[in-house]
Structure 1
Amino acid sequence: MRIYLQTQVAAAESPRYYDIILQQDLLGGWTLYREWGQQGGRSSSKREVYLERDDALTAFAQARDAQVKRGFRVMFSQGLEAPHAR
């Protein structure tokens, strides 16, 4: 699963982005990757590992919801169960 979020484009600066990716690993666990920053500028990332699918999906939804509350908009989503912004 993947969701790419972005802020409104302002004339003075590049938009900020937040990319959230959830992948199953080879051992059956789940890894949540997050990357954020300003397009064309510096970025940061974080990786979290979950043993249970439900825990990983909950973390994915919480990460998405937190960014939507901060004003980010979903620009792209991918995956059979790609959640949509509320």
Structure 2
Amino acid sequence: MRLYLQTMPASAEPPRYVQIVLEQDLLGGWTLYRESGTQGGRATLKRDQYLERDEAIAAFEKVRDAQLKRGYRVVFAQGVDGPYGRR
């Protein structure tokens, strides 16, 4: 699953973005990647690993919901049920 969220651009500042990716690894575990930064600028990448799929999806949804509450809007979604994933 992959979500790309972005803020509305301010006057002179580039928009901020958050990309959330959930992937299954070769050993059956799950990795949640969270990349955030300024469009065209520096970015930060965080990675969390989970053994169970349900736990990983819950973490994905928690990060997604937190960003939506902060005013980010979904620009791109891939492999997600519904417009913004399960709710």
For Structure 1 versus Structure 2, the TM-score category normalised by the shorter chain is: over 0.9
Q: TM-score, normalised on structure 2?
A: 0.92
Q: Deviations over 1:47-75 (max 9, x none)?
A: 00000000000000000000000000000
Change (3 A) 1:82 1:36: farther
Percent identity over the alignment is 64
Check conservation: 2:2, 2:80, Cα contact below 8 A.
no
Does 1:30 find its partner at 2:38? Answer: no
| Structure 1 stretches of at least 4 aligned residues deviating more than 4 Å after TM superposition | none
Q: Deviations over 1:17-70 (max 9, x none)?
A: 000000000000000000000011111110000000000000000000000000
Instruction: Count how many residue pairs are aligned between Structure 1 and Structure 2.
Output: 86
Q: C-alpha root-mean-square deviation of aligned residues, in Å?
A: 1.6
Distance 2:55 2:43 in 1: 26
Q: Structure 2: which 5+ residue stretches go unaligned?
A: none
Q: Structure 1: which 5+ residue stretches go unaligned?
A: none
Distance 2:63 2:74 in 1: 12
